[in-house]
Structure 1
Amino acid sequence: MQTRTSLTLRQQRLGTELRKLRERAGFTSTEAAALLGGPQSRISNIEAGRYAVSADRVRAMAHNYACADEAYVEALASMTGTRTRGWWDEYQDRFAPGLIDLAEMEHHATALRVAVVIHIPGLLQTANHARAVMEESVPPLRPYEIEHRVSYRIKRQAVLYEGTPTPYTAIVHEAALRMGYGGRHVAREQLGILLEEGERDNVTLLVIPFGASFPASGQSITYASGPVAQLDTVVLDTDHGCEFVDAAAQLERYRSVLDRMEAQALSPEKSRELIHRIAQDT
Structure 2
Amino acid sequence: MGLRVKPTYRQRRFGAEVRKLRERAGLSVGESAAVMGMQQSHISSVEAGRTSLSEERLRRLAGRVSGVSSTYVDALLELGQRSGKGWWSVYRDRIRPSFLDIAELEAGAERIVNYEPMFVPMLLQTEAYGTANFKGGYVRPSPERQELESEFRLRRQGVLHGEAPPRYHAIIHEAALHARFGSREMMRDQLLRLIEASRLPHVTIQVLPFDGAVPFGTPFNLIEPKVAELGTVVVPHIEKSLYLGDVDSLDRYNRWFANLSEMALPPVDAEVRPEAHSAKDSLGLIQRLLYPLL
Q: Same fold (TM over 0.5)?
A: yes
Aligned letter for 1:224?
Answer: I
CA shift, 1:98, in A, is 1.0
CA shift, 1:114, in A, is 0.3
Extract unaligned runs of 5+ from structure 1.
none
Aligned letter for 1:179?
Answer: A
Q: Name 2:196's counterpart in structure 1.
A: 196
Q: Deviations over 1:54-89 (max 9, x none)?
A: 222222221133453111000011123363211111
* Equivalent-residue separation in structure 2 for 1:273 and 1:56 (angstroms): 55
The answer to which of 1-10 and 230-239 deviates more is 1-10
CA shift, 1:125, in A, is 0.0
* 2:237 is the counterpart of 1:226: no
* Equivalent-residue separation in structure 2 for 1:25 and 1:142 (angstroms): 51
Contact 1:3–1:52 (CA under 8 A) maintained in structure 2: no
Q: Name 2:140's counterpart in structure 1.
A: 140
Distance 1:104 1:278, change over 3 A: same
SS, match of residue 207 in structure 2:
strand
Contact 1:11–1:49 (CA under 8 A) maintained in structure 2: yes
Q: Deviations over 1:174-215 (max 9, x none)?
A: 111111221201000000111100111010000001111236
Aligned letter for 1:223?
Answer: L
Contact 1:220–1:236 (CA under 8 A) maintained in structure 2: yes
CA shift, 1:169, in A, is 0.2
Extract unaligned runs of 5+ from structure 2.
269-280
CA RMSD of aligned residues (A): 1.5
Matches within 5 A, 1:1-282: 2-66=2-66, 68-81=68-81, 83-214=83-214, 217-269=216-268, 270-282=281-293
Contact 2:136–2:181 (CA under 8 A) maintained in structure 1: no
Contact 1:236–1:243 (CA under 8 A) maintained in structure 2: yes
How many residue pairs end up in the alignment? 281
Contact 2:110–2:167 (CA under 8 A) maintained in structure 1: yes
Distance 1:87 1:208, change over 3 A: same
Contact 2:165–2:202 (CA under 8 A) maintained in structure 1: yes
